Amino acid sequence: MSNVKLSERLNRLTPSATVALGGKVAALKAQGIDVISFGAGEPDFATPDAIKAAGIRAIETNQTKYTPVGGPAELRKAVAQRISADCGVNYTANQVTVTNGAKESLFLAFLALCDAGDEVIIPAPYWVSYVDQAKIAGAEPVIVETTAESGFRMTAAQLAAAITSKTRVLVLNSPSNPTGAVYTAAELRALADVVKQHPQIVVMSDEIYDAIVYTEYARWLRVAPDMVDQTLVINGASKAFAMTGWRMGFAVGPQFIIAAIKGKQSHSTSHTSSITQAAALPAYDGSVDMQAEVARMVAAFRERRDVIGELLTSIPGVSLNVPDGAFYVFPDVRGLLGKPLACGVTCHTDEELAMALLEHAHIGVVGGSSFGAPGFMRMSYATSMELIREGMARFRKAVVGE
């Protein structure tokens, strides 16, 4: 037995359920079992050719050395212009840092903004990493529970009730992982009116799924330009340009916060890969038009959303808020709990149900408890229509036997 002790900081963390599912699916596949996974948090499309070509060019022209911390000025300027156009505000290159995925931007932002005991408001259901990243920064996550009935959107009254003198950060994620919920302009404005009364709060507006919406998209700063000094916009190339493995995300906001984030970055990763930065540049500086590629991807996701939604809700005991964005469905499965299913088991929690579906139907889903929503489950439809149909047929058979 080792005498080495791990840090208290690490003891506070919860292992990622989505990563755990990946491990279990891989283990079953290794035994030759044909498992269909609905766990993927990434588009199943290839990175667009223009981006790949820019990456190859970067290698061939030896753009393989260190870049400035947070990316070269050219890239930061392109991102500043793009986010300014999206949000209707005026950002400059020194208000941008490019990081190793949006995940690193969020992580460094929590470190830059929070001290021990500070509070971070996170509406549930939430993307798992917000809670653990806030904890690593020493902060206390304050979870605001939303319901399917409220469309999984936090109300201004709920927000007002959650704010204390210790609140430092509000996390907003629209479209949301895991629910696909998208806030309306009126809802965002009402939230902004609450935050405005608390100038110490920074809103981290995680807009990583902004390209994948099936409704009119209300953007936080478009609706609340008066919040610009209290907002960090988080976004990146992972989902919009099918670049998850390249690791390109960014934070955009008040210069002193970006400088603090870059200070931390300078002592950790310095910057994301020089090749990745060069590859992403054409997607942001407008030299290549990505609109047609993105529109094709969104049309495919919309079709799959409609099909998976219909097949899911045809299963007795399952109900669904049809998502307005991202590529996840988050069905309510409480109607399947506490009674025997056709596959011969009775599940009492979403986690038991996820395990039963993996064992008996050979489909991989993640229980809602991992996202702060017991009784639900998350399924990603970033997979082929054929696998969606087959997976839903297996789900149905495990539940009703036909």
Binding residues (CB under 6 A) for ligand PLP: these are: 41, 101-103, 127, 173, 177, 206, 208, 236, 238, 244, 249
- Judged by beta carbon, residue 86 or residue 359, the one nearer ligand PLP is 86
Q: Is 176 helix (H, G, I), strand (E, B) or coil?
A: coil
**Whose CB is nearest to ligand PLP?**
101
Work out how close the CB of 244 gets to ligand PLP at its nearest, in angstroms, rounded to a whole number.
5
Work out how close the CB of 208 gets to ligand PLP at its nearest, in angstroms, rounded to a whole number.
4
The H-assigned helical ranges of 156-243 are: 156-162, 185-195, 220-223
Work out how close the CB of 210 gets to ligand PLP at its nearest, in angstroms, rounded to a whole number.
11
- Judged by beta carbon, residue 94 or residue 244, the one nearer ligand PLP is 244
Q: Is 198 helix (H, G, I), strand (E, B) or coil?
A: coil
- Judged by beta carbon, residue 214 or residue 250, the one nearer ligand PLP is 250
Residue bearing tokens 């990622």: 16
The closest of 159, 105, 107, 177 to 135, measured between CA atoms, is: 107
Work out how close the CB of 116 gets to ligand PLP at its nearest, in angstroms, rounded to a whole number.
24
- Burial environment of residue 339 by CB neighbours within 10 A (0 to 12, 13 to 18, 19 or more): exposed
Phi, psi of 204 (to 5 degrees): -90, 105
How many angstroms separate the CA atoms of 364 and 65, rounded? Answer: 41
- Judged by beta carbon, residue 91 or residue 127, the one nearer ligand PLP is 127
CB of 166 closer than 8 Å to CB of 118: yes
- Judged by beta carbon, residue 371 or residue 395, the one nearer ligand PLP is 371
CB of 282 closer than 8 Å to CB of 291: no
- Judged by beta carbon, residue 19 or residue 157, the one nearer ligand PLP is 19
Work out how close the CB of 381 gets to ligand PLP at its nearest, in angstroms, rounded to a whole number.
14
Work out how close the CB of 101 gets to ligand PLP at its nearest, in angstroms, rounded to a whole number.
2
- Both tokens of 9, joined, read 């900081």
